[in-house]
Amino acid sequence: MQISNLKHGGNVYKSAKKLNLLPSEIIDASASLVPFDPPKILIDSLNAEIKNLGFRYYPERNLSDLKEIIGKFHGINPEKILPGNGASELITWAGYEASKFGISCIPSPCFVDYERSLNCWKSNFIHCELPKNWNNVFPQSFPLLPKGDVIWITNPHNPTGQLWGKNSLEEIIKNYKLVICDEAFLSITPNGDKESLIPLTEKYNNLFVLRSLTKIFNIPGLRLGYVVGSPKKLKQWKINRDPWPLNSFAIKAGIELLSNNKFYEQWTKQIHSWINIEKERVYEKLSKIENLKVHNSSTNFFLIESKRSLSPNIKYLENKGILLRECTSFRCLDEKWARISLQSRENNTLLCKEIQNSFKN
Ligand SMILES: Cc1ncc(COP(=O)(O)O)c(C=O)c1O
């Protein structure tokens, strides 16, 4: 099954150009990033990389230092880790793995890249619709057990923001030949890390867990993620992919950001506190809009649902330099839905005001 418009959020450059603004003048609530500048320790280490001309050399092909640091960070054997050019590159290779097993089940609506990856390997898949109503108690039990060989889990789920409980996911692992769990947003989600399946990779050889550093450190342009899973299978992925998928800046970034536990704890604490406070404020404001349903979320993005198309509202906001994620390219959603990501306090106030205004026009 092919879909022609597999879209992503975060098209800041395009919108800025159209409105004759700087990218920094756009309020991008279409990509779910944190509103903080990347950490100073990261900027310093990237500056050092420039000063030392570290990029004059090909990166070390085994990525040993980075794997060592990630291994220590999670308390696992570095051979179970494969760093990648963002989680997106590893989603492509997860699709390669899935193509060996048969039919993939994609709980939908979901992140559009899984479908891209499976199409790339001409691998069969089915969409399994998730229930469209859920409460505000997280974590929740994963609600599906569709027939198939492979299942793709996203925790927390994109675009719904539901956090799935580890125990319910362990039951899922037992029912499939292969389980791919994308935890791109887990570390920024308050109480999220407790639900990580990374420790279960010690027990289940059919489990791959994907992680991204994009969201938590606000570094989408650096491209950095990793996968945890069977060393034997990851060796095969490595043989098949580009010889140098990560550049020297991304490697430096990963080493710097994951080697200091105290810094990491403080950084995530600040993010969790921002999510808890701003989510409540934004929900309260948007819930007052007539005929608009604001869906519960565990994390920094959430869905809104209207009785009529939200396309005019999204257009209105776009002309004001505010981007929401339209949902027509998500399976099982349509133009009555939109996904919004939380912003800084000041921008959230503006965002809510303009969303309210968009309903008056
Ligand atoms: C669920 C999910 N996984 C993975 C990614 C891609 O992450 P990365 O920037 O590390 O490629 C995204 C990006 O939006 C995402 O929403």
Cα 110 to ligand 1 centre (Å): 11
| pLDDT score of 72 more than 70 | yes
Q: What is the pLDDT of residue 13?
A: 86
Closest atom of ligand 1 relative to the 212 alpha carbon: 10
Band (361; pLDDT cuts 50, 70, 90):
low
Tell me how far apart the alpha carbons of residues 23 and 15 are, in angstroms, rounded to a whole number: 8
| pLDDT score of 1 more than 60 | no
Cα 112 to ligand 1 centre (Å): 10
Q: What is the pLDDT of residue 11?
A: 83
Band (221; pLDDT cuts 50, 70, 90):
very high
Question: Which residue from 49, 7, 18, 13 is spatially nearest to 255, judged by alpha carbons?
Answer: 49
- Residue 19's CB is within 10 A of a number of other CB atoms, namely 14
When pLDDT is averaged across residues 193-216 and rounded to a whole number, the result is: 97
Higher pLDDT among residues 8 and 12, named by residue: 12
| pLDDT score of 4 more than 90 | no
Instruction: Please write the tens of the pLDDT for every residue from 191-204.
Output: 999 999 999 999 99
| pLDDT score of 117 more than 60 | yes
Tell me how far apart the alpha carbons of residues 169 and 151 are, in angstroms, rounded to a whole number: 11
Q: What is the pTM of this model?
A: 0.95
| pLDDT score of 6 more than 50 | no
* Residue to substitute in 116, 158, 209 for testing ligand 1 pocket (most ligand atoms within 8 angstroms of CB): 158
Closest atom of ligand 1 relative to the 111 alpha carbon: 1
Question: Which residue from 146, 192, 158, 153 is spatially nearest to 170, judged by alpha carbons?
Answer: 153
Closest atom of ligand 1 relative to the 224 alpha carbon: 10
Q: Return the minimum-mean-pLDDT range out of 20-29, 248-257, 276-285, 338-347.
A: 20-29
Band (247; pLDDT cuts 50, 70, 90):
very high
| pLDDT score of 2 more than 60 | no
Q: What is the pLDDT of residue 324?
A: 96
- What one-character-per-residue DSSP string does 38-95 give? PPHHHHHHHHHHHHTTGGGSPPPTT-HHHHHHHHHHHTS-GGGEEEESHHHHHHHHHH
Instruction: Please write the tens of the pLDDT for every residue from 135-164.
Output: 999 999 999 989 999 999 999 999 999 999
Q: What is the pLDDT of residue 12?
A: 87
Q: What is the pLDDT of residue 3?
A: 44
Cα 51 to ligand 1 centre (Å): 31
In the chain, the amino acid numbered 67 is K
When pLDDT is averaged across residues 343-356 and rounded to a whole number, the result is: 97
Q: What is the pLDDT of residue 224?
A: 98
Band (8; pLDDT cuts 50, 70, 90):
confident
Closest atom of ligand 1 relative to the 32 alpha carbon: 14
Residues with CB under 6 A from ligand 1: 86-88, 111, 154, 158, 182, 184, 212, 214, 220, 225
> Percent of the chain at pLDDT above 90?
92
Judge whether 206 and 229 are in contact, CB under 8 Å.
no
| pLDDT score of 177 more than 80 | yes
| pLDDT score of 5 more than 90 | no
Tell me how far apart the alpha carbons of residues 199 and 353 are, in angstroms, rounded to a whole number: 43
Tell me how far apart the alpha carbons of residues 303 and 297 are, in angstroms, rounded to a whole number: 8
